[in-house]
Structure formats: C-alpha cells, structure tokens
Amino acid sequence: MAGSALRRLMAEYKQLTLDPPEGIVAGPISEDNFFEWEALIAGPEGTCFEGGVFPARLVFPPDYPLSPPKMKFTCDMFHPNIFVDGRVCISILHAPGDDPMGYELSAERWSPVQSVEKILLSVVSMLAEPNDESGANVDAAIMWRERREEFNIIARRLVRKTLGLPT
C-alpha cells in the first residue's frame, strides 16, 4: 500500500510545484520521506491573518489517499478550528464515512479524490471564515463570535510573530 501512496504523493508534489496555488508552498521535508511535508500558508487577504506566513506540517498515513493526513501548525495559532497544540480540525481531514456525532455530511469528510492542494486551500478558507460552531479552540470560537475586535488583535499579533517582528 505504501508504494501506491508514495506514487500518489510524488504526483501531487509535482503538480504543486508546476502550478502552486497562490499563497501556498508545500512539499516533503526530505526527499527520503515523502510522508512528512511542510507547508507555508500566507494569511488570506482582507482577513486578520493577512500578511502572516504560517508554517504547518502534514503527516500522511501509509494508506494515503484512502485515509487523510494529519495537519498541524508549527507556529502559535489562535483560531476556532485549530487546537491549542496546532492541530487543524476541518471536515476534509476527518476520516471518510458518516460522522459518528452526526454533525458533518459524509460528502464533507475525507475521500480519496481529495488532494494536498484541496486540503491547503480548505485551510486558507478556514482561516478566512472560521466555523465557530465546531470549535477545536472554544476560547477562540467564543471570542470570534462575541468579541471580534479582541480576536483580531490577537491574530494580528500572531501575524507579526510569524514574520519575526516585535509583538
């Protein structure tokens, strides 16, 4: 199974290098291991994350694309759909099939037709438009909903931090 996963990851990497989505750079950490990638995601224009460059890591399972990768930001993040430890919580990264909690439709969850590019574009969308009803970080979700300007101040501070500027 790992052989077909490796071929798929190599093809996706080639596609990402030939036609990279705007604001996203991603690829294997090492040519010796295509199952661990790093990504740099630019904060979406017109959002409180604009101007930031957010590093993340993706770890692919041996049965990829049958199972989704895990994604984690490696910088400080404060966002309703990102756990305090940086793990990303969005539907596209949830295992295929029906949601045991009944919250997500199976069509929203992972399927083998998804790709690294679609994941990263979904994360950019998530940064721009959080789902505050499904909070991985409850404090961030509440602040996003009830005290938006305070949330924006924290986000702008994180942007400065990703750029190595004083906060």
Active-site residue numbers?
89
Residue with tokens 């294997």: 28
CA atoms within 13 A on the CB side of 111: 8
* Those residues with Cβ within 8 angstroms of residue 88's Cβ, 6 or more apart along the chain or in another chain: 56, 71, 72, 73, 81, 82, 123, 126
* Those residues with Cβ within 8 angstroms of residue 69's Cβ, 6 or more apart along the chain or in another chain: 37, 58, 59, 60, 61, 93, 116, 119
H helices of the chain, in order, are: 2-18, 116-128, 138-146, 148-162
CA end-to-end span of the chain: 46
The neighbouring-strand residues paired with 125 are: none
